[in-house]
Amino acid sequence: MLRTVSILTFLGLALSAPVPAATYYVDRVNGSDDADGQASNSAWSSLAKVSNSKFQPGDRILLRRGQRWSERLVVPSSGSLDLPLYVGAFGTGNRPILDGTNVTLADDAYGLLTIEGHLNVTVCGLEIRGSARSGVHIYTSSGIRLCDMSLNNNVGNGVLVFDSSQVVIDRSEIFSNSQAPWESFAGIRIDGAGGDWKSFTIQNCKIHHNLGGADWASGNGIALGNTGNNIPFLEQVLIENNQIYNNGNPDQNQAGRGITASAHGDVTVLGNSVMSNASAGIYLGDYGLRLNITIERNYFYNNALRQLGGTTEGWATARYNTILVDTPDITAMGVEIGGLGTWTITNNVFRYTTPTDDTWRGFIRINDSDQEQHLVSDYNLFYSAGPRRWKRSNDQVIDFRTWQKFGFDQHSVAPQ
């Protein structure tokens, strides 16, 4: 009896043992979809073969470097927390390219590379360009990581994340997207039809020249949420150590931001270089939205309308940031704030090296009378080529001493 039990136990363990992870190769030039795909010399040829196959957690799907596919890739399977499904590259040369220039996307196909309804997928080392919509579409998924990607020249967004959580975008270059002249897209857009979505990290990326069209159809570098009726909660958003520059239509300065947000939740923007965007470097929130904002240790340079700010019913902190403006040809406000929430602006350096006749330019501009009571601003250094650089909610432009009389920046310094 004991021997029988032991044998059954062994068989049960053997049957439940995980299947070893496999590697599948895709070579458009030398491969064949009739091959088994499990070696570089027996590779598959098409992305359709990948899209219509099933994979196990830990499996790796590798596309040959230096080759180009004019077709869509739909990731067909999930990984596990410890063993993500991996899509990447093999061989030498440039990144494998998914080129959507001549690819027609069906009405329900929003990305040239799509991850829909899956968990724990990593995609690294690909170039995705020329999509008639977004380059990458992540939908109703979680545990997704994009790394070392080039996402460029897509008509819509470089990346669209929708109704998803736990997404990381790392070490990627995202540029020249938002090419549609009739609608505002972004290099990266994180959005949802309402709902509560958590944990988004954008780090170590270059996000630039996502231009868009005219007026409010101008593009953005990073866009969080939407201005419709179903505003999402986006929690634990971290935007860190990126270069975000030249986003938005340069022919106008009312739209086209480095980072914009219309969402509830919380956003931390840390250690980024934010430069020469068509409107704001960073402008987050809106009236009626409870968004908690941290903007810390960033470098702002010559963003056309304003460097940073926002409107929120939550709280916001801007500290240890450096702001440099050295051209008279742009408005380039420093911080513009509004809403019912409390803004704390401390330990920042503002340096404006050229004079201007633009009366909108100011170090700190208050848009709402409530901010007169809620603003905490102190321990800042203001250096200006003109003296009157503070603006109250009644549009009164004042000098530093008058600003201090209203209770602001008691320990700050403003050398002329």
Please check the confidence at residue 10 and state whether its pLDDT lies above 70: no
Distance separating alpha carbons of residues 26 and 416, to the nearest angstrom: 63
Q: How confident is the model at residue 2 (pLDDT cuts 50, 70, 90)?
A: very low
Segment 347-390, tens digit of pLDDT: 999 999 988 888 888 899 998 888 888 899 999 999 987 767 88
Distances (CA, A) of 413 to 258, 294, 298, 326, 333: 29, 23, 20, 20, 18
Helix (H) or strand (E) holding 370: helix 369-374
Segment 49-104, tens digit of pLDDT: 999 999 999 999 999 999 999 999 999 999 999 999 999 999 999 999 999 999 99
Residue with tokens 């239509």: 249
Q: Which residue has the higher pLDDT, 164 or 8?
A: 164
pLDDT of residue 50: 98
pLDDT of residue 7: 47
Q: What percent of the chain has pLDDT over 70?
A: 95
pLDDT of residue 13: 45
Q: How confident is the model at residue 205 (pLDDT cuts 50, 70, 90)?
A: very high
Helix (H) or strand (E) holding 16: helix 2-16
Segment 289-348, tens digit of pLDDT: 999 999 999 999 999 999 999 999 999 999 999 999 999 989 999 999 999 999 999 999
Q: What is the mean pLDDT of residues 147-163?
A: 98
Q: What percent of the chain has pLDDT over 90?
A: 81
Q: Return mean pLDDT, the chain.
A: 93
Give the CA angle between residues 260, 357, 390 to the nearest 5°.
60
Distance separating alpha carbons of residues 256 and 246, to the nearest angstrom: 9
Q: What is the mean pLDDT of residues 183-194?
A: 96
pTM of the model: 0.94
pLDDT of residue 132: 97
Q: Would you give the DSSP letter of residue 157? A: -
Amino acid in the structure at residue 316 = A
How many CA atoms are closer than 13 Å to the CA of 123, on its beta-carbon side? 30
Give the CA angle between residues 340, 343, 344 to the nearest 5°.
160
Please check the confidence at residue 11 and state whether its pLDDT lies above 70: no
- Assigned fold of 22-405: Pectate Lyase C-like (2.160.20)
User: Domain coordinates of the chain in residue numbers?
Assistant: 22-405
Nearest CA-CA partner of 260 in 251, 274, 250 = 274
Amino acid in the structure at residue 203 = Q
Distance separating alpha carbons of residues 156 and 185, to the nearest angstrom: 6
Q: What is the CA radius of gyration of the chain?
A: 25
Please check the confidence at residue 234 and state whether its pLDDT lies above 50: yes
Beta strands in 211-256 (DSSP E): 220-225, 233-240, 243-245
Q: Which residue has the higher pLDDT, 358 or 21?
A: 21
pLDDT of residue 14: 46
Please check the confidence at residue 19 and state whether its pLDDT lies above 90: no
279 and 300 in contact (C-beta within 8 Å)? no
269 and 291 in contact (C-beta within 8 Å)? no
Determine how β-strand 342-346 pairs with β-strand 315-319. Answer: parallel
Segment 105-154, tens digit of pLDDT: 999 899 999 999 999 999 999 999 999 999 999 999 999 999 999 999 99
Distance separating alpha carbons of residues 9 and 19, to the nearest angstrom: 18
pLDDT of residue 387: 64
339 and 368 in contact (C-beta within 8 Å)? yes
pLDDT of residue 382: 94
pLDDT of residue 247: 97
DSSP assignment of 33-74 equals TTS--SSGGG-B--HHHHHTS---TT-EEEEETT-EE-S-EE
